[in-house]
Amino acid sequence: MSSKRKIIPYNPELKILAKELRRNMTLSEVLLWNELKQKKNLGFDFDRQRPIGNYIVDFYCKELFLAIEIDGDTHFYRYDYDEERQSALEKLGVRFLRFEDIEVKRNMNNVLKILENWIHKNQPTPNPSQEGNLEKRSTTMLSREGNQENKISELLNKGDLRGSNK
């Protein structure tokens, strides 16, 4: 059986706005996007300006159910809205990391360390059926290695190896 990723619905009317937001990203969004795109962060795929439910988040990783928001000028007087929005999305299973605009601009290394630590603590565990296959493969390899070692020992004891002194 394959594990299926939970699909979170979104309002299709937000697609046009999300596309527009991708074209007009803030400097801090561009800087963080350059670090997230092409699976640069521990191999996880992030989308930018992603519609989820009736909202658009700055960055989103489907595999981790992680939204990353950059709070700055656009969020300055919208704390109540941001709180309501985050609460609604958390009910859908979305988890959040928030960074200040100025932190992204001035201390990207710290932002990336926080993100990597979050990923290490929260990344999904491998599919149990895959774990079994990995365990089975390593056991098979160990038994093969053990058999080879036994054969080598037998040949050494018999003196059948080339180059051995008789």
Burial class (CB in 10 A: 0-12, 13-18, 19+), 145: exposed
Q: How far apart are CA 105 and CA 70, in angstroms?
A: 11
More confident residue, 53 or 133: 53
* Residues 88, 154 within the same domain: no
Q: Are residues 67 and 101 in the same domain?
A: yes
Q: What pLDDT, on the 0 to 100 scale, is given for residue 72? A: 83
What φ, ψ does residue 63 adopt, rounded to 5°? -65, -35
Residue 6 lies in a domain: no
Q: Is the pLDDT of residue 128 over 60?
A: no
Q: Quick one: 72 and 41 in the same domain?
A: yes
Statement to judge: residues 106 and 131 lie in one domain: no
Q: What span, in angstroms and rounded, lies between the C-alpha atoms of 138 and 88?
A: 44
Bigger pLDDT: 79 or 162?
Answer: 79
pLDDT band at 40 (very low <50, low <70, confident <90, very high): confident
89 and 117 in a single domain? The answer is: yes
Amino acid identity, residue 95? R
Residue 146 in this model has a pLDDT that exceeds 60: no
Rg, C-alpha atoms of the chain: 25
User: Do 34 and 114 fall into the same domain?
Assistant: yes
Q: What percent of the chain has pLDDT over 90?
A: 59
98 and 22, same structural domain? yes
Helix (H) or strand (E) holding 79: helix 79-91
83 & 115 share domain: yes
Give the range among 3-12, 35-44, 72-81, 85-94 with minimum mean pLDDT.
72-81
Alpha-carbon distance of 61 to 68, in angstroms, equals 9
| Average pLDDT of span 58-86 | 85
Range of the structural domain that residue 155 is part of:
125-161
d(CA 143, CA 137): 10
Tell me which residue has tokens 């003196």.
Answer: 159
How many domains is the chain built from?
2
Assess whether 116 and 147 both reside in one domain. Answer: no
Calculate the average pLDDT of the chain.
Answer: 80
Q: What is the pTM of this model?
A: 0.71
